[in-house]
Each structure stands twice: as C-alpha cells, then as structure tokens.
Amino acid sequence: MRQVYTSLRNENIDRVVELLNTHAIETTVSNRSSYKGADWKKFSYSQRPDVASWPQVWVVNANDQTRARELLREAGIEPPTRYSDEIPTLREETTRPYGPARHRSVASRARMAALAVVGIMSVMLALKSCQVYGDKPQPPKREVIPVKVQ
C-alpha cells in the first residue's frame, strides 16, 4: 500500500476516494474520524494537529500508484512527497525567523525608531529655544541732548 493523499477535511478525502474508485483503483482510508460533523470548524492556524494524525488515502495495489498520482495531478492535487512539510520550515529557519520572535524584533525596531524621532525632535526644540542670534540687540545709545541755558 502507498499513501497518495492526506487532508484534515473528510469531504476532501471522500472526493479523492471517489475519483480513484471511478477509475478502478482500489483505495483504503486510515485515521478517519467516525464523527461526520463539520471538520472545518475545528481549524486553527496556531494549533495545527500533527500531519500523521490526518486522514490518509492509501492505494492498495502498488502498481496503481502511478496512475493514481497522474489522476490527482490532472485534478489539480499535488500528491504528497516525503518530508515535503519539513523542507520549507528548514529553509525558513535558516533564512529568516518567523513567528513570535520575528514579531518581537519588528516591534522593537519600530519602538526604537519612534524613540529616535522623539529624541531628535526634543534636541532640535532645545537648540531652537537656546539659540543665540548673531545680531545681538544693542542697548540704546545714550545721546546727549544739549540743553540751552538761558
């Protein structure tokens, strides 16, 4: 048996099984929940379940695997590959961090930029208020007004 498809949604699993069965490819499904409710309501980006616990479609006869993969590709579904979910995460870890660590670093950089702008503005205001003009006002000159004595 070979795994050809996995998904969290039972509806997707049912569609793939139906597609393969219409082309006379025998399949079996593992890890399917017995509850037939709406799976999509439990979806969460922050708490994703382990991929190994998702429902999986398996081709019973290994000779049918190539035909099953071709059918899935024609339907626009890329069949799973080994370690496909681990490769992008390894690349992301080496190139740039994602998640809470990255958000904290971006937020701290924004705070530092805002603090720098406030600091520069306060220094400019202080210099402006203490600025001494080149043309100092001269005290009024005393003029001697001759007084005529009679």
Q: Which residues pair with 5 in a beta bridge?
A: 57
**Residue 52 resides in a domain:** yes
Give the number of domains in the chain. 1
**Residue 69 resides in a domain:** yes
State the pLDDT at residue 85. Answer: 58
CATH at 10: 3.30.70.1530
**Residue 28 resides in a domain:** yes
Contact (Cβ atoms closer than 8 angstroms) between residue 31 and residue 2 = no
**Residue 129 resides in a domain:** no
Residue 34 has pLDDT above 60, yes or no: yes
Task: Report pLDDT digits (tens) over 112-140.
Answer: 999 999 999 999 988 888 776 656 667 78
**Residue 76 resides in a domain:** yes
**Residue 102 resides in a domain:** no
Task: Report pLDDT digits (tens) over 23-32.
Answer: 999 999 988 7
Task: Report pLDDT digits (tens) over 35-78.
Answer: 655 555 566 666 666 777 788 899 999 888 889 988 988 888 87
Domain that residue 16 falls in: 2-80
**Residue 87 resides in a domain:** no
Helical pair 10-22 and 65-74, crossing angle rounded to 10 deg? 120
Which tokens in the block code for residue 107?
């937020």
3-state SS, residue 57: strand
3-state SS, residue 129: helix
pTM recorded for the entire structure: 0.48
**Residue 6 resides in a domain:** yes
Of residues 12, 49, 57, the one with CA closest to residue 31: 57
Task: Report pLDDT digits (tens) over 68-96.
Answer: 988 988 888 876 665 555 666 666 555 55
Query: What's the CA dihedral at 13, 6, 43, 106 to 10 degrees?
Result: -150
Contact (Cβ atoms closer than 8 angstroms) between residue 19 and residue 67 = no
